[in-house]
Amino acid sequence: MKYCIGFASPLIVAAVILTAMMPATSWALDQKTTTERMNQIKSLPKVERDRLDRNIADFQTMTAEQKQHYRNLHEELAKDRMQSGGLSSLMQTYAVWVQTLSPAQRDELQKETDPAKRLALVRRFKDEQDHPRTNAETPHEEPIPPPSAKIPPKLALDSKDLAAVIKVLVEGLPASRMRPEFEVSQVPFNLYLPVIEASAQSSGNFREWPDDTQLKKIIAAVRNKDSSTMITKSTTKRETVIRLILMGVWKQVMDSVRFPNEEERRQIFEAMDPKEREKIIGHPQEEMTRMLTRKYFESKGDDSFTKIPDYRRRVIDLFERLDVPLPPRFVHPKPPRDRQMNSKL
C-alpha cells in the first residue's frame, strides 16, 4: 500500500482522492442502465444514501473545471477496468484502508481538497500505522522530563483563561460536532484536546483555524495580562494564540504530575539493590534522572506520569495539523534511518 501511493502518478493520486468522495458501490453501478442505477440507489442503506446525498451536494458546489476533471477521471477508470484493472484495484485497496482510520482521520482526509496535501496525510496516517509508538519506545520520547523542564507562565494560558477559551470553542461548535460530554458548565480537562480538534474540524481546514471571527472571541476570553500583551504585540496572532492554547494544555498536563525532587531521587537510589544501582550508574546523568523518577513513581504506586507520552503526541500532532511551528521542547528527534527513507517515497 505504502509503496503504491509513494510512487503514484498524478492520475492515481486523483483516483485516490475520488475514492473518498464516492461510495464504493458506485463502481459496480456505472455499467448499468439509469433505471437500474436508480433502483439500486433507492435500496442502499440509509448511511450510504446520506453519504451519496452529501457527495452530490459537494459535486454541485464544484466549478465546471473541477466537475469535468472528475468526469474525465471516471472515463479513465472505466477504461482501466476493461483492461488491466490495476488502478481500480488500487482504489479498492485504498477504500478498505480508509476504513482502518479513526473517524477524525477519515474526516480530515475527506475535507482536504489539495491533492498534494491529501497525499501527505495518507503517508502520515499510514506511517503512524506501520510504526505505532508503544510503551517500550517512550523512554526515547522523554515521557518523564526532568523537574527543571517547567513551562514559564508567559508561554502558556493559565488554567482560568484556558477554561474560558474552551468554553468559547464549545459554544461555537455546530450540532454535528457537539458531544454530550461537552455540554456541561465546566468541560473536564481531559476533553480539552477533543474540543480543540472538534472546533478545528468544523472549520473545514485545520490550517485556517481559527478564522478571524473566532480568533477575536478567543482573544477576548484571555484575561491574563502577560498572555494578552503577548497576543497584542504579536504580528502573527493566530500562531501566538494557538501556541498559548496548546502550551496551556501541556502545562496543565505537566503540573498535574507530582515529580520527585533531587532529595527524593537520592533516597530512591540509596534504597535500591546494589545491582540495580550499577545499571543506573552506567547511563548519562539525564537518563539516570529519568530512571530514578520512574522508580519513584513505581514506589508510590503512582501512574499519573503514564499519560504524558499520549498527551505529548497529541499536542505535537495538533501543532503540525494546524501548521504552527513546534516550540523547541517539542521538536521531533531525528527519526531512524528506515523512517527517513520511507518518508521519501
State the chain's mean pLDDT as an integer: 76
Mean pLDDT over 256-282 rounds to: 85
Is 60 found in the same domain as 37? yes
Write down which residue in 101, 130, 159 finishes a domain. 130
Q: Which range has highest mean pLDDT (155-169, 182-196, 301-315)?
A: 155-169
Question: Residue 100 carries which side chain, given as an amino acid letter?
Answer: T
Of 109, 320, 326, nearest to 201 by C-alpha is 109
Does some domain include residue 166? yes
Q: How many domains does the chain have?
A: 3
pLDDT computed for residue 342 by the predictor: 38
Q: How far is CA 59 from CA 32, 36, 64, 200, in A?
A: 21, 22, 10, 23
Give 266-329 as a DSSP string.
Answer: HHHHHTS-HHHHHHHHTS-HHHHHHHHHHHHHHHHT--GGGGHHHHHHHHHHHHHHTT-PPPGG
Q: Poorest-confidence range of 1-10, 93-102, 176-185, 222-231?
A: 1-10
Mean pLDDT over 266-286 rounds to: 83
pLDDT computed for residue 147 by the predictor: 52
Is 214 found in the same domain as 99? no
Q: How far apart are the first and last CA of the chain?
A: 12
Is 81 found in the same domain as 18? yes
**What's this model's pTM, rounded to 2 decimal places?**
0.54
Is pLDDT larger for residue 342 or for residue 251? 251
pLDDT exceeds 70 at position 140: no
pLDDT computed for residue 195 by the predictor: 94
pLDDT computed for residue 33 by the predictor: 59
Between CA 29 and CA 36, with CA 32 as vertex, the angle to 5 degrees is 90
Could you report the per-residue pLDDT of 142-173, keeping only the tens digit for each?
A: 456 555 456 777 789 999 999 999 999 999 99
Is 116 found in the same domain as 232? no
Q: Poorest-confidence range of 56-70, 184-198, 205-219?
A: 56-70
Write down which residue in 73, 100, 130 finishes a domain. 130
> For residues 246 and 319, is the Cβ–Cβ distance under 8 A?
yes
Does some domain include residue 277? yes
Is pLDDT larger for residue 247 or for residue 138? 247
pLDDT computed for residue 318 by the predictor: 92
Is 228 found in the same domain as 166? yes
Q: Poorest-confidence range of 22-36, 181-195, 214-228?
A: 22-36
Question: Which range of residues forms the domain containing residue 120?
Answer: 2-130
Mean pLDDT over 292-318 rounds to: 86
pLDDT computed for residue 149 by the predictor: 57
